[in-house]
């Protein structure tokens, strides 16, 4: 199934490794280092038309990348849960 993560961007839910709230998780030095490294390696895809509120870590074909989204992590989590529920019912 696919999930809309903002700004007309849709990704396969099987590629999602984790969804994080930027404000809460960027307090950690490890998270900041992870995001800095991803930026240096050009693995960040900014789809946010506004200040990003969450980031989604994805893995496709053993390559990691990070989407920055203006949607909150709770909104994304609800969408993922709804998609999983619909997939289960099919």
State the pTM of this model. Answer: 0.89
Mean pLDDT of 4-13: 94
Q: What separation in angstroms does the CA of 10 have from each of 16, 27, 45, 67, 69?
A: 11, 28, 13, 11, 11
21-67 residue pLDDT tens: 999 998 999 999 999 999 999 999 999 988 999 999 999 999 999 99
**Residue 88's pLDDT band (cuts 50, 70, 90):** low
- HSE at residue 52, side-chain half, CA atoms within 13 A, is 20
């Amino acid at each position: 199934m696919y999930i809309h993560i903002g700004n007309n961007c849709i990704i396969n839910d099987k590629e999602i490794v984790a969804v994080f709230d930027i404000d809460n998780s960027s307090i950690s030095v490890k998270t900041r280092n992870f995001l800095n490294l991803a930026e240096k390696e050009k693995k960040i895809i900014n789809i946010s038309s506004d200040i990003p509120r969450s980031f989604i870590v994805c893995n496709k074909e053993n390559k990691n990348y990070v989407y920055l989204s203006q949607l909150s992590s709770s909104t994304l989590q609800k969408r993922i849960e709804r998609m999983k529920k619909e997939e289960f019912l099919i």
